Amino acid sequence: MYKINYGIFFLVILFQINLKAKVTSQQEYIDSLISVATSLPNDSVKVVLLERIGYSYISLNPIEGKKYTTKALELARELGLTNREAASIALLAANCSANSEYDKALQHNLEAIEIFRSLNNQKGVAGVTTNLSQVYTKLGNYAKAIECNFEALKIYEETSEYRNKGIIYENIANIYYELKEFEKSKTYYLKALNLYKNHTVDADEARCLGNLARIYMEIPHYDTAMIYLNKAFNINQKNGNKTGALINLSNIGNVHSRKEEYAEALEYHYKALEIANNLGLKNFIATGKGNIGEVYLSQYKKSSPFNHNLIDNAQNYLTDAIAICDEIDFKAPKVDFLESLIEVYVIQKNYQKAYHLINKKIAINDSLYSLASKEQLSKLETQREIDLKDKDLLIKNKELEIISLNNQKKSLLYTFAIIVLIILLFVAFTYYRKKEKKHYEVISEIKQIQSHEVRGPIATILGLIKLLKDKNRSDESKLELIEGIEETTNKLNNIVNQIINNTKK
Amino acid sequence: MKFNSILVIDDSKYDLFIATEILNDYCDVKEVVCVDSGQKGLAYLQSKENKIGELPEIIFLDIKMPLMDGFDFLNLYNQLSDKIKNYCKIYMLSSSLDPTDIVRAKNNKDVIDFIEKPLSEEQIGKLFN
């Protein structure tokens, strides 16, 4: 069974053009862009249009996508548009990643980040860093992936980009999902959902709900998974997001399949396949057919007496799915489908074909990066966290973690975070002292901030912590106090940031 | 010492919360009244002008507040009737460490003392017991 997890390449930031409502077929939509692009002179608008074509091809046909992003890149270089050059490289990376060429994707992403950095385009850096984290996730390098996410998060913390922050939380959740740390994964999905609900469009919420449902499929808690998937499906349906709806239907089919409700599973997979056919999305046609084939195989194994029509159906659908995977070089699900088809051939006693496929599968497996064991990855992650300890980033992150836990031990961590903030403030203050001779008036302003602005929240936090420690309080009341600490610490953090920004001037 | 009523004037809701909790727990007081601005504090005192028994015996006053800060409050408080002023004792309750604030507070004839935030059991003990 191939579960579709939606990798979100969010390159929205790279585009200034707002496009009209989606055309029925993705290919038609792209064709219309191409016809406009060919009629344009070689200017910056054309570069953006070529990028948009490349972006639209990511999920449809990354090989074509690579072609157009390369064109965009060449034109951007010719015109000396450095920002667009970086954007094109980032899109090229996204297409490489969609085409399972993770090495190239890695290289291009790093290249794009470097250019954005040299342009001091923080948003660009953050966007591509997030994409890079997804490549690292695919490569199984979860430690690096997490690092990238926190790196990007750090940039967004300063810009209050709620949607992008949400996407990063979702990425982190996806990583924990891969690590099978379902509780942590759930926490981050819920964080992301929370941001989406308050700040952005439904499409993000729907995707996140769909991803959250995958956790309940693993735990397993199929009824909850179903609730989330239906919720996501309704949102997608309402907004006409056909690809999203397709993914939901396919995953609903997977839940039914897990529950051995094969008739329902088939119904939903067929619905998903129909949408994929209408939209002309080959990767989803492949996964749809493959999933149907796998359901037939499971159904056959449970049938008594054996129903040979079912195994024939399985063979047909899986063969089709693998052929399409071959056509678009879609490696990840192909391994799953090959495995099922081998089983089909073994059942049919067609050992020659089975043997042939086993060799094919081994070849693909070798070409795909094999994931290291879970323990090793966790170790890497822990190591990474230790490395980051000196950075305020981790403190920020710890703060976020702590908020959700309302016990004594955690409030001690809070105190730690506050102390570090105070140290930061002290550093900022000392920095000011050095400039004292030149800027006496600046100093008195800082003194003002120091004594009123900064001492205020610190006193509040100390008071709240004391209340938290000294009394036999109900959990509810403790939570209120912790919320107070959170709110006030955020306020303090903003003041410190403000002071640091002032020192830069 | 027993009190009928204590008034706390502070714009921070959490500081009001802390003060209320501490006063209720460590001080023998019937009622803690909280207001979040100097204006409301003055209005409250004036409303009790003819009901002396209901006036607060103690007022905790924050310094840093928007629009009307603690010192502005003191200037206007000074113009209230003697009935009120003789009844209430004002303590400045602030997180400020600025010596000018502290000196200015202590030099005001209506202010009994300057207390550093956060309000705590120890401070209550020192003040009233």
Residue, of B49 and A432, whose pLDDT is higher:
B49
pLDDT band at B114 (very low <50, low <70, confident <90, very high): very high
Question: Contact A181/A381 with Cβ under 8 angstroms?
Answer: no
Quick check: B120 and A466 CB within 8 A? Answer: yes
CA of B54, closest CA in chain A: separation in Å? 29
Q: Is the pLDDT of residue A391 over 60?
A: no
In chain A, the residue whose alpha carbon lies closest to the alpha carbon of B12 is A460
In chain A, the residue whose alpha carbon lies closest to the alpha carbon of B120 is A463
B63 contacts on A by Cβ (under 8 Å): 452
Q: Is the pLDDT of residue A162 over 70?
A: yes
pLDDT band at A419 (very low <50, low <70, confident <90, very high): confident
* DSSP reduced 3-state for B77: helix
According to the model, what pLDDT value does residue A408 have? 55
According to the model, what pLDDT value does residue A11 have? 36
pLDDT band at A386 (very low <50, low <70, confident <90, very high): low
- Annotate A205-220 with b (16+ C-beta within 10 A) or e (fewer): bbbbbbbbbbbbbeee
Question: Contact B71/B114 with Cβ under 8 angstroms?
Answer: no
Question: Contact A210/A228 with Cβ under 8 angstroms?
Answer: yes
Nearest CA to A9 out of A119, A157, A112, A118 is that of: A112
Question: Contact A280/A27 with Cβ under 8 angstroms?
Answer: yes
Q: If DSSP states are collapsed to H, E and C, what string results for A115-173?
A: HHHHCCCHHHHHHHHHHHHHHHHHCCCHHHHHHHHHHHHHHHHHHCCHHHHHHHHHHHH
Q: Which of A194-198, A393-397, A413-417, B25-29 has the lowest mean pLDDT?
A: A393-397
CA distances (Å), B128 to each of A40, B26, B84, B90, B94, in order?
Answer: 83, 10, 21, 13, 18
**How confident is the model over A22-47, as a mean pLDDT?**
79
According to the model, what pLDDT value does residue A373 have? 41
pLDDT band at A22 (very low <50, low <70, confident <90, very high): very low
According to the model, what pLDDT value does residue A274 have? 94
Q: What gap in Å lies between CA A148 and CA A153, rounded to an integer?
A: 8
Nearest CA to A89 out of A124, A121, A56, A118 is that of: A124
Identify which of A447, A450, A460 has the shortest CB distance to residue B12: A460
B21 contacts on A by Cβ (under 8 Å): 467
Half-sphere exposure of A296 (CA within 13 A, CB side): 27
Residue, of A151 and A323, whose pLDDT is higher:
A323
According to the model, what pLDDT value does residue A406 have? 47
Q: What is the pTM of this model?
A: 0.50
Residue with tokens 């290249």: A111
Residue, of A414 and A223, whose pLDDT is higher:
A223
B119 contacts on A by Cβ (under 8 Å): 463
Any alpha helices (H) in A368-474, and if so which ranges? Answer: 374-388, 392-403, 408-434, 440-448, 455-470
According to the model, what pLDDT value does residue A72 have? 93
A-facing residues of B in 55-84 (CB < 8 A) are: 63-64
According to CATH, the superfamily of the domain at A281-375 is: Tetratricopeptide repeat domain (1.25.40.10)
Q: Is the pLDDT of residue A13 over 70?
A: no
Residue of A415, A429, A448, A460 best to disrupt the B interface, most CBs of B under 10 A:
A460
Give A227-280 pLDDT, tens digit per residue.
999 999 998 888 888 888 888 999 999 999 999 999 999 999 999 999 999 988
Single-letter amino acid, residue A79: L
Q: Complex ipTM, two decimals?
A: 0.89
Quick check: B118 and A459 CB within 8 A? Answer: yes
B-facing residues of A in 440-469 (CB < 8 A) are: 447-448, 450-452, 455-456, 458-460, 462-464, 466-467
**How confident is the model over A328-349, as a mean pLDDT?**
83
Q: Is the pLDDT of residue B5 over 90?
A: yes
pLDDT band at A111 (very low <50, low <70, confident <90, very high): very high
Q: What gap in Å lies between CA A444 and CA A358, rounded to an integer?
A: 76
A452 contacts on B by Cβ (under 8 Å): 63-64, 95-96, 98
Residue, of A496 and A312, whose pLDDT is higher:
A312
pLDDT band at A382 (very low <50, low <70, confident <90, very high): low
Q: Which residues contact A287 (CB under 8 A, 6 or more apart)?
A: A2, A4, A250, A321, A333
Mean pLDDT computed over every residue of chain A: 80
- Extract the tokens encoding B35: 């207001």
Interaxial angle between packed helices A202-218 and A182-199, expressed in degrees from 0 to 180 and rounded to the nearest 10: 160
A458 contacts on B by Cβ (under 8 Å): 95
Residue of B10, B13, B16, B21 best to disrupt the A interface, most CBs of A under 10 A:
B21
In chain B, the residue whose alpha carbon lies closest to the alpha carbon of A451 is B96
CA distances (Å), B78 to each of B11, B36, B71, B116, in order?
Answer: 21, 20, 11, 23
Quick check: B18 and A467 CB within 8 A? Answer: yes
Ordered by start, the domain boundaries in chain A are 281-375, 389-504
Q: What gap in Å lies between CA A378 and CA A386, rounded to an integer?
A: 12
**How confident is the model over A375-388, as a mean pLDDT?**
51
Give me the numbers of helices (H) and strands (E) for chain B, helices first please. Answer: 6, 5
Q: Which domains does chain B have, with CATH numbers?
A: 2-128 (3.40.50.2300)
